[in-house]
Amino acid sequence: MGRKISIALMAWFSIQFVVMLFFYESTSNQIIRAVSLVTIAVGFPFSFALFFLNSKLELLNKVRIIYLIIAVSIVVISFFIQFVLLIPNSLKIFGVLWYCFAYAPLELRSKYNKWLEYFSKKVELFVLSSINFIAINGLLLGSLFYFMHWKGGSFFLIIGIIFGIISPLLWISKFKTEIVLRKKSEDKLKDVLKDITDSINYAKRIQNAILPPQRLVKEYLPQSFILYQPKDVVAGDFYWMEYKNDKLLFAACDCTGHGVPGAMVSVICVNGLNRSVREYNLTEPGKILDKTRDIVITEFEKSDEDVKDGMDISLCCLDFKSNTISWAGANNPLWIIRKGSTQIEEIKANKQPIGKTETPQPFTTHSIEFNEGDTLYIFTDGYQDQFGGEKGKKFKAAQLKELLLSIQQENMENQRKIIAKTFDQWKGNLEQVDDVCIIGVRV
């Protein structure tokens, strides 16, 4: 708490302490004196200490409830003894004093904690809370003095009534102002969020325009599927396709990150692939990856910062004339399931990304013969890295291989549906950890 609030609190507690001493000095009744001393010696100091212990708020709340129960119980018992058993007693004095000077400070602190987020000035909150409890304490003490036929009862009652009228008016005024300010802030925040959402949705439209349309995919690869499931609105994963010189190039690509940062990197990587084929007339997968790496690094080197972002990729070239497949990969492999086979043939990728690396090596192009009915799969790592299942573990590559082998009797569209359903069931209620992109082609 600030220095001003600490001074105000000291003054508040000093006033309560003086009032307590008044009870002790203003009467010769030994019972009332004893009650005053107990309250001063036990309840009030402990309440005073807890008020300033920010790290003990849980303890404060527990003690606050106990103090309230004590105060109410004593007053109830006192009235029961006096009006039912017809035995005069001074217990009610102890109950009222305990409420006003032991429980009230803790209640004040509790309200302070509850409403603090609504106040920019802590002193303002403290003053309003204090006025509220001065009103309650004034009414209680005035009633006690009046009931006990002590002098000063009218003074406390007048104080309680005045502060009781002022308190709700001040709180209502404060919250009206707060509601207006919050409404303006919420409206402004909604406008900002709408602008951001609109921008991201527009970025999605741009990214979708970069992706090959399904019409083109089905034209060149009628027996195929693409499972594309971004983690966010826009993605770092993307699939790419280009037809050149009777050769079909297609790839599953995974750029650094996901969401907006990943999408920004993907634009640079798509540009690199397109230029490698269209501008440099390359069709050999390894050479395409080499040139794409050069283009990506050149683009990032324009920045004053050391940018190490890049892309993992699995790139296929399907030659319709020779019935061969050439392939190259950066960190991501190629899986082939031959017709009738119960095993997956894996072609491993170069262990380097499309991007800056310490010891760059030329990417290797693998030539693969294929027969009708063979199925190949290229993918990013989002599917196998997804957490889920009963134990919340990763799906992993081995389980993905088992899944693909188990659905070889299905057509490609059904395969996509089964793979997607399996992913959703595995993920369950957990958050998707990365973008997902899997391409399956039956040749």
In the chain, domain spans: 3-185, 211-442
Give the CA distances from residue 193 to residues 41, 116, 188, 196, 200, in Å, rounded to whole numbers and listed in that order: 56, 26, 9, 5, 10
- Which tens digits make up the pLDDT trace of 56-87? 567 777 777 887 887 788 778 877 887 777 77
200 burial (CB, 10 Å; 0-12 / 13-18 / 19+) is middle
Q: What is the DSSP letter of 149?
A: T
Pick from 44-53, 106-115, 432-441 the range whose average pLDDT is largest.
432-441
pLDDT for residue 55 is more than 50: no
- The identity of residue 190, as a single letter, is K
- Helical axes 44-51 vs 57-83, angle rounded to 10°: 150
Q: Which two tokens stand for residue 346?
A: 């894996």
- The identity of residue 333, as a single letter, is P
The mean of the pLDDT values for the chain is: 81
Among 29-38, 71-80, 104-113, name the one with the lowest average pLDDT: 29-38
Distance CA 115, CA 132 (A): 13
Per CATH, the number for 211-442 is 3.60.40.10
In DSSP notation, 381-394 reads STTTT-EETTTTEE
pTM exceeds cut of 0.85: no
Asked if 231 and 435 count as a contact pair (C-beta separation under 8 A), the reply is yes
- The identity of residue 18, as a single letter, is V
- Which tens digits make up the pLDDT trace of 113-169? 777 777 767 777 777 777 777 787 778 777 777 777 767 667 778 887 888 888 777
Q: Which two tokens stand for residue 344?
A: 């997956």
Give the CA distances from residue 285 to residues 14, 160, 224, in Å, rounded to whole numbers and listed in that order: 84, 87, 20
Apex CA 380: angle with CA 375 and CA 385, to 5°?
115
- Which tens digits make up the pLDDT trace of 35-52? 555 555 555 555 555 555
Say what the pLDDT of residue 421 is: 95
Sheet holding 366-369, edge to edge: 237-244, 247-255, 311-319, 324-330, 366-369
